[in-house]
Amino acid sequence: MVTSKPHAILLASPGMGHIIPMVELGKRLLTHHAFHVTIFVVTTDSATTNSQILEQTSNLSSLNIVNVPPIDLSDKLPPNPPLAARIGLTIVESIPFLRSSITSIKDLSPPSALIVDMFGLPAIPMASELGMLTYVYFATSAWFSAVTVYFSAVDEKIMETHAESREPLLIPGCEPVRFEDTLEPFLSPGGELYEGYLQAAKDIVAADGILMNTWQDLEPSATKALRDNGILGRFTKGETYEIGPLVRTIEAKPEGGEKDAILRWLDRQPPESVIYVSFGSGGTMSENQMREIALGLELSQQRFVWVVRPPCEGDASGTFFNVSSGIDGTLSYLPEGFLGRTEGVGIVVPMWASQAQILEHPATGMFVTHCGWNSVLESVVNGVPMVAWPLYAEQKMNAFMLSEELGVAVRVKEEAGGVVGREQIAELMRRVMVDEEGVGMRSKVKELKLSGEKALCMFGSSHHSLCEIREACEVHLQ
Ligand code: UDP
């Protein structure tokens, strides 16, 4: 039935780190803001598995989810292309399907807005042609959003100075971005992704608005800088909206349903006694690094749940796991005897765990994280302090924010040879779990948890932002 409700089309790019925040935003628009919501999920080979996992773990029956048919890119890309190139081309090739699907929606109100993430930018011109409002959902910090907005009109000389003399990047109203925390391939002129990122930044500021998964108490200076349009007036078209914290919500299994074995194990552990270790939806490390983590866990003498993936080749200390290299279910890459020695004290989970549920379990006392933004928020909204171990993308900025600004994490220091040793790992774990320092971190992160709850409630900033977007869509429909 055609109604006058605004209808938001959400485009979720491949990868759980992209799909999860889009689905959560869709649920929020549907349940709290009376939107019609259609989510298009774009898949690459590996993401087909991702969307299956998503379906198994979330009750999505009320959302209209459309899987974009997988696209064969084998003759369009070189062998083993970078993940970003594969995702980008998949989106571009999906546009004809999106266009015909959107124009053929007849039984609901006509789509009024398209919401995309960073990878979905190529779909924006199509939505504008179809007369829709366009929003970019930055499933990351306001601070990194500010970097992107600033970068969209930057004088290249500023970026050259930053890259060559390693001076911090000074963005009005924001915490300086240290050279060692920036995204070198994106922000250094001549870097392989510089031009592409510059174009993306320009496309982002040309949209009708930027949605950010954050809230003022988490990032007072960056949200203010963006809200006041203080970033040198660069952001001319749309508004920025703080809509966080939107994190994964997993509906409880129906009464009598079987509970996950990890959760059953956690039920038997004392409160805040277990360290959860996981590096996002695809992070993995070298075999040497995994050995040190295993031995660090043992040395720390703490309980743990550790999500592992087969190690990457060579000495890379952190990278994205390539599914095509195969899944080794034997855990043979862990140190000899480790599983036996830690039986009863810890659990090693191959490939994937129900992270949101582990972090909200009262027995979980700390999270060793790669600082992907979803993971950061899932930890904060559950009041869990962290060991920040950034691997790629904007994660080093996130780690800086957590450890230096907010005081809710301790950060891993790089070591000679590129492998972080077991002694440092154990020491960081004990600082959070056992030492007085950890007590302070725990209380700070619990304050942030409360402020996040306020942002989401009826009079909070997140609710207010989404009401504003609804109003803009209603005006647009008239
Ligand atoms: N995740 C999960 N189980 C895992 C690994 C990851 O549920 O074993 C979820 C996690 O809860 C988060 C998302 O996958 O919602 C990862 O997003 P994040 O931004 O932290 O990192 P990315 O995967 O994008 O690097």
pLDDT digits (tens, 9 = 90+) for 57-104: 455 666 788 888 888 888 888 877 777 788 889 999 999 999 999 999
User: Which one of 320, 358, 374 would you pick to mutate in the ligand 1 pocket, going by the greatest count of ligand atoms within 8 A of its CB?
Assistant: 374
Lowest-pLDDT choice from 130-144, 223-237, 354-368, 412-426: 223-237
Structure tokens at 478: 């008239």
Distance, in Å, from the CA atom of 21 to the CA atom of 16, rounded to the nearest integer, reads 8
Distance, in Å, from the CA atom of 120 to the CA atom of 10, rounded to the nearest integer, reads 10
Q: State mean pLDDT over 207-214.
A: 94
153 pLDDT exceeds 80?
Answer: yes
Q: Which of ligand 1's atoms lies nearest the C-alpha of 353?
A: 8
232 pLDDT exceeds 50?
Answer: no
Pocket of ligand 1 (CB under 6 A): 16-17, 20, 248, 278, 280-282, 307, 352-353, 355-356, 372-375, 378
The residue to which tokens 């998503």 are assigned: 54
Q: Is 18 tagged catalytic? A: yes
Structure tokens at 283: 């992070």
Say if the ipTM goes beyond 0.95. yes
Q: State mean pLDDT over 179-186.
A: 80
283 CB burial (10 A radius; 0-12, 13-18, 19+): buried
Q: What pLDDT, on the 0 to 100 scale, is given for residue 323?
A: 45
233 falls in which pLDDT band (50, 70, 90)? low
Query: Where on the phi/psi map is residue 105: left (φ > 0), alpha (ψ -120 to 50), or beta?
Result: beta
Is the CB of residue 50 less than 8 Å from the CB of residue 42?
Answer: no
**37 CA to middle of ligand 1, Å?**
23
Instruction: List the catalytic residue out of 7, 36, 117, 162.
Output: 117
Q: What pLDDT, on the 0 to 100 scale, is given for residue 327?
A: 47
Q: What pLDDT, on the 0 to 100 scale, is given for residue 282?
A: 81
Lowest-pLDDT choice from 157-161, 296-300, 340-344, 436-440: 157-161
326 falls in which pLDDT band (50, 70, 90)? very low
17, 33, 13, 27: which is closest to 58 by C-alpha? Answer: 27
User: Which residue lies with its CA nearest to atom 13 of ligand 1?
Assistant: 17
Q: What is the pLDDT of residues 405-456, one digit of tens each?
A: 999 999 999 999 889 999 999 999 999 999 999 999 999 999 999 999 999 9
Q: Pairing between strand 7-12 and 111-116?
A: parallel
Beta strands (DSSP E) in 97-237 are 111-116, 133-138, 209-212
Q: What pLDDT, on the 0 to 100 scale, is given for residue 57?
A: 47
